[in-house]
Amino acid sequence: MGEHPSPGPAVAACAEAERIEELEPEAEERPPAEDHWKVLFDQFDPGNTGFISTGKFRSLLDSHSAKLDPHKREVLLALADSHANGQICYQDFVNLMSNKRSNSFRQAILQGNRRLCSKALLEEKGLNLSQRLIRHVAYETLPREIDRKWYYDSYTCCPPPWFMITVTLLEVAFFLYNGVSLGQFVLQVTHPRYLKNSLVYHPQLRAQAWRYLTYIFMHAGIEHLGLNVVLQLLVGVPLEMVHGATRIGLVYVAGVVAGLLLQLFTLTAVPKGALRVCLRSLAVSVADMTAPVVGSSGGVYALVSAHLANIVMNWSGMKCQFKLLRMAVALICMSMEFGRAVWLRFHPSAYPPCPHPSFVAHLGGVAVGITLGVVVLRNYEQRLQDQSLWWIFVAMYTVFVLFAVFWNIFAYTLLDLKLPPPP
């Protein structure tokens, strides 16, 4: 998969430029990458104006056309034609030749004067199995044809989508181990010894910090694990192939943490007396602060919610097949899983007085998906640090996490909550 013999524009241009005798420095004096582009840029800008004409830039691309991927060459030519003043500044030149796609790069293409005249990626014939798979992933996740072509030419499967696959294998391995240990695979959570596992989050054991993450490796049963694994593989793996393990892992872990912390969150100012009792009951029913938590639903719902929201926001651009039907199926599956979790939560417990695991983590995952997740998926190959909306949601998430941590410390005393005994 990803066996593309054509190098990216930065590699091709660099390799070709190094063959030019007048630009070839001695091996021991070779300048850094950006200095190399500066040397090349100065050849076209003898007056040191900081700009070169788009005509010269087109000539450079034409001279390297045999070494450039055809789709990437289209992108670069579209950018050259989009400059109404007929000039390209040095920073744009470096971004292009270094394969850095800034916001100005995207806007220049989208607002360019030249339309891409070649056929769509979907219409190309003679692709092998791996190329068809990469093309399918591009159409599943990216709303713009120019991004799909760029991804198709850039993807090398190095590194592979290791994060989602590793998490999924670990979840399956822990489930099988617990199933053999407990002698039960369906509704494992009803086994009297289930909560004794050191990975489950339990409110009485909240001082054991590792439980805030390890609870994702414990599932209520094969019916719980099955849907999470299917969604992780069908949605999470393609998203990781496009956006990378760092970004998708960030959304996934943020959903996991938010799903647990939302359970700890409740109302802030609680008066004494009868109203305090009423509000305490409301807080427990909404935030479910006394119940344990298991399963990776927070992370899964974060990814799926972000993907579905991205499809809705870019409806006309998304070219995945049967998107309306598939969205309906995804929403039905998520609703059924949430309904199962709610039913199980209020089902008579197998280990009274401790209730069955909470369902609130699902809601925390959705909240992360439609905020942080959407920003990540909308900015393919763009620097998130340059997005003001990204920092707004990061600040909101940070405030939420800090507040939830302090609330976790003081809320149980403030509300006089009686927690079930530890398992």
Phi, psi (degrees; rounded to nearest 5) at 161:
-75, 70
Measured CA distances, 40 to 21, 57, 67, 79, 87 (Å): 12, 11, 17, 19, 16
Measured CA distances, 255 to 145, 212, 309, 405 (Å): 30, 12, 15, 16
Give me Rg for the CA atoms of the chain: 27
d(CA 363, CA 358): 11
Residue type, 256: V
Structure-token pair, residue 131: 């190329």
Cα 32–chain centre separation: 32
Collect all residues with Cβ–Cβ distance below 8 Å to 180 and sequence separation of at least 6: none
Catalytic residue among 297, 305, 307, 356: 297
Give the Cα-Cα-Cα angle 387, 364, 258 (nearest 5 degrees). Answer: 70
Collect all residues with Cβ–Cβ distance below 8 Å to 242 and sequence separation of at least 6: 137, 138, 141, 142, 151, 380
Label each residue of 212-240 as H, E or C.
Answer: HHHHHHCCCCHHHHHHHHHHHHHHHHHHH
Known catalytic membership, residue 219: no
Q: Are 148 and 142 in contact (CB under 8 A)?
A: yes
d(CA 211, CA 261): 12
Known catalytic membership, residue 297: yes
Q: Are 411 and 286 in contact (CB under 8 A)?
A: no
Give the active site residues. Answer: 297, 362
